[in-house]
Structures are given as C-alpha cells and as structure tokens.
Structure 1
Amino acid sequence: MVKTFDDVRPPPSRLIGYARVSSEDQVHDAQMEELRAAGCHRIYEEHGSGASQARPVLTRLLGELTAGDVLVIVRLDRLARSIGHLMTVLEDLESRGVYFRSIGDPIDTAAPQGRFSLQVLAAVAQLERALVSERTKAGIKAAKSRGKRPGNPGLRERRPEAIRAVSQARQKLYLDELTASAQTWLPVVRQLRPQHSWDNVVQVLSRRGQDWSVERLRRAVHRMVGEKLAEQELLARAPRRSAEDRLMKLVAAIAIADPDLSLRKIAAQLDQMGERPARGGQKWQPSSVRHLLDEAHRFGLMPR
C-alpha cells in the first residue's frame, strides 16, 4: 500500500513531464502543450504502443528523478500498463521523495486531495488482485466438480505448441516484472557496473532492502540489455578488487570503532598493522584512506 503523507513538504524543485505517443498516432502536440502549460521545464517523449512492455525512456527517466522533483503526465494511461504497475511506480517515487501529478486525474501527491485519490487507487489495486485470485480458485473448484483436471491439457500431453506458448507467456511476464521494478535497482547497477563486481552491487541492493542474488541480478541485466533497455557495457568484466574490498571493510571497521580518528591517524594504524596500501607504496596516505572510506559509504558499510 502507498504510505500516507501527513508531513508538510517543501515546494518541489522541478517539474518534469513524460509523454507517451502511440506509434500509429501522429498527433501528439496536444499532449506536449499540456505538459508545457503545466510548467514542465523538461519533457521526455516515448514512442510506442500501450501494449509494448519496452519503455526505455520511462525507465531512464524514473532512474534520474531525485528528491523534490515532480513527475507530470497528462493521463494515467500514458504512464502505466495497469493499476498494479502504476502503484509499483508511485510507491518507488514516494520512497525517494519524488512527487507525482496527473493533469487529467485528481492525483497530485504534493496535495492532500491527491494523496487521498492515490490511496483509493491502491485499495482498488488490492481489490483487483483479490478478485482475480478468487475467480481463479472458483474456476479450479468448478472444474474439479465436473471431473476435469485443472491446468492446461496441452501441457499435460506435452504438445510442442502448448509448451512454446507457456514459455513465451512466462518470458513476457518476467520482462513485465523487470521493467516495472527497474527504477528501484537499475540506477544502482548503472552507477556501479562494471567498475564493481556483481557481489558488491548485490551488497548495495541488499542494504537498500532488496532481495537479489548474483545469478538473478546478472540474468535480469542480461535480459534488459537484450531488450535494449540497458547498456551493453553493464555486462563487461569487472576489474579484480578483492584486496581493495578487504581493505575497504577494514578501514570502515576502524572508523566505526573510533569515529574521532583523523584520516592521518587511520593511515598510521594501518601502517602499524602491517597492511600494504592497495594502490602501491610503502606508507598509507590520508588520500588513500579517504578513497576507501568513500567506497565504504557507497556500499552502505558505515553511516555518513
């Protein structure tokens, strides 16, 4: 469910528009004019049908929005494929302090009335999921009462066309889930890859409350790259950094144990411990300590 907003927030800093124009629809000036009239200083324009799962412009835009920004659209159907997809996007925006406004709908998360409308939408999405589940269970029960076995008869008989159809449906669902959630994890991947290993990227995502394994994350990025929704260079081999990773954790532990230590004193401790600088040299320098502390902050090993 979307969280309620009881706090008073500062005025938003930027109005950023998103327009999706269907491939067959050549008239899109009205959509652009509405966004400009709403005060959008920048507008991202996507070309593609509503049925298409691939929305690279939207994925990039959601990853670039920062706290205080306002994402503005003309209508809800320009943004989301379903209520569930819409709620996933809006929950992520709210968690990052990004506002949302739909010109043609009573939704503006910077205003109490708009937040109430959003809560109603969240309730509708929950009801929709419950009804689908209830209908599915009722259908299975009715089929059993008529002596029919639940499931796809083509799969039971191992028909090739049925197997292909199910495989395609699963692949479509997987891509749908990836694109719906991409704004929560793909920006982190873009920030860290390929300079950092997949293990380190998973560490960062885990500290942000996301459940990934290295295998699942690599598979997800491979799929996004294959659909041209992410850059090929994200899959490049990361440089070997095992020694520096160990030193990063060691420096973080020293700084956490004694927050008053200066960079020079941490360097002196490392020298006394017989640790060799990762970048070469005989003695630790404050700049090398600073670099490792910055990396530790990036990976969430210590608070700023």
Structure 2
Amino acid sequence: MKIGYVRVSTEEQNTARQEIMLRELGVDELFIDKASGKNADRPELRRMMEYVRRGDTVIVESISRFARNTRDLLDLVEHLTEKQVEFVSRKEAIDTTTPTGKFMLTVFAAVAELEREYILQRQREGIAIARTQGKYRGRPAKDYPNFECVVARWRNGEITAVQAMKQLGMSKTRFYERAKLLNK
C-alpha cells in the first residue's frame, strides 16, 4: 500500500496542496497532522507508524513535513525500515531503498533541522527588536494574591513546599524563584 503523510504547522494552514499531490501519486491511505514538526509527538504520525505494514511505502511531499530535526527523521525512518516499509520524499527525490537515498536522507534531515534553527533565531531576534521598541512585553506575570501568606506558612513549617505549590497552583521552579525574591 502507498501511505501518504501530510503536515502543516497550525490549524489555520491548508493541507490541500499536499493532499492533491499525494492523491495524484495514488496513495491508498492518508494521515494528516496540523501540528508543529519540532518533535515526533503528533497523533496522526503515531497512528500512521502503527498502521504501516511490511511492503508499504510512506510518501511525503518533503522531509520538512515529516520531521524538523535530524534525530527524529532518522529514528522514524529506522522504525519504518525495521517494519520493512519504504520511505519516499517527493521534493527531495529520496528513496530509502538505495544507499544513495539513505545518505541523501541524512543530508536533507540536517538541512531541515538547520532551517528550523534559523526560524527560531529570527524569531528571537524579532522579539528582541520589538522589546527595545516597547512593542513586546511578553506574557504578563500571573498574580498569586495569597502568595506571601502561603510562603510564610511554608517557612514556619506549617505546610510542606509541595502543599504550598499545590495551594497556589504553581510549578516547583516558579514557586522557589518567587519565594527567593521575597527575601530581597
């Protein structure tokens, strides 16, 4: 069977272009995720990986639609190989049944990961510029009205730190950071 996998990063993005291309290639089954490719924890990808059987071929429009980092891509392809499933990426013309295809897969995976890192770097740079212009302030700090009282009870030994965190609905890191600021 030919199995198609489609991914876009957000719910608002359209999958039609990828779907049409894969349908034209005669895929029998199609799995579609609307989620970031930063990791392999995607519902339809997991479903597809369980679904494929020996002799199947997984076809994607491009490597970046399948995985955004080298390790995930190589792990996914290795898992497919163990199941005796072929992997084909149309854009990069990669076919893992050949040694050259396997080599090219590794090279393109590294390029996809580099592209993701560039995107994140540009995002950080854009945020830094926006901050200097006063246009970006980040998420507003959450208010915990009874924080000082709960911390005082914790410091007096009336409650444990875990109980204090639970009462406040705070993570361990945030709790200790804020408690430390009270000492200053």
TM range (shorter): 0.5 to 0.7
Structure 2 letter corresponding to 1:36: R
Instruction: Please list the CA deviations of residues 208-238 of structure 1 after superposition, one character each: whole Å capped at 9, or x if unmatched.
Output: xxxxxxxxxxxxxxxxxxxxxxxxxxxxxxx
In 1, are the aligned partners of 2:9 and 2:36 still within 8 Å (CA)?
Answer: yes
| Number of positions where the alignment pairs a residue of Structure 1 with one of Structure 2 | 114
- CA pair 81-33 structure 1, distance change in 2 beyond 3 A: same
The answer as to 2:164 corresponding to 1:164 is: no
Q: What's the offset of the Cα at 1:57?
A: 1.1
Q: What's the offset of the Cα at 1:124?
A: 8.1
> Hey, what does 1:46 align to over in structure 2?
33
Aligned partners of 1:97 and 1:53: how far apart in 2? 20
The answer as to 2:62 corresponding to 1:78 is: no
SS in 2 for 1:164: helix
> Hey, what does 2:93 align to over in structure 1?
106
Structure with higher RCO (Cα < 8 A, 6+ apart): 2
> Hey, what does 2:150 align to over in structure 1?
none
Structure 1 gap segments, 5+ residues each: 1-13, 127-162, 166-304
The answer as to 2:23 corresponding to 1:36 is: yes
> Hey, what does 1:116 align to over in structure 2?
100
- CA pair 86-52 structure 1, distance change in 2 beyond 3 A: closer
- CA pair 122-64 structure 1, distance change in 2 beyond 3 A: same
- CA pair 32-118 structure 1, distance change in 2 beyond 3 A: same
> Hey, what does 2:179 align to over in structure 1?
none
> Hey, what does 1:56 align to over in structure 2?
43
Structure 2 gap segments, 5+ residues each: 111-171, 175-184
Structure 2 letter corresponding to 1:71: V
Aligned partners of 2:92 and 2:109: how far apart in 1? 17
Instruction: Please list the CA deviations of residues 104-134 of structure 1 after superposition, one character each: whole Å capped at 9, or x if unmatched.
Output: 1121124x3xx413224447879xxxxxxxx
Q: What's the offset of the Cα at 1:81?
A: 2.5
TM-score (norm 1): 0.34
Aligned partners of 2:3 and 2:67: how far apart in 1? 17
- CA pair 123-52 structure 1, distance change in 2 beyond 3 A: closer
In 2, are the aligned partners of 1:83 and 1:121 still within 8 Å (CA)?
Answer: no
- CA pair 124-28 structure 1, distance change in 2 beyond 3 A: closer
Taking every aligned residue pair, what percent have the same amino acid on both sides? 30
Instruction: Please list the CA deviations of residues 251-279 of structure 1 after superposition, one character each: whole Å capped at 9, or x if unmatched.
Output: xxxxxxxxxxxxxxxxxxxxxxxxxxxxx
SS in 2 for 1:116: helix
Aligned Cα root-mean-square deviation (Å): 2.7
Task: Give 1 or 2 for the bigger CA radius of gyration.
Answer: 1
In 2, are the aligned partners of 1:80 and 1:86 still within 8 Å (CA)?
Answer: yes
- CA pair 15-125 structure 1, distance change in 2 beyond 3 A: closer
In 2, are the aligned partners of 1:15 and 1:69 still within 8 Å (CA)?
Answer: yes
After TM superposition, which residue ranges in structure 1, 4 or more long, deviate above 4 angstroms? 123-126
Aligned partners of 1:96 and 1:81: how far apart in 2? 22
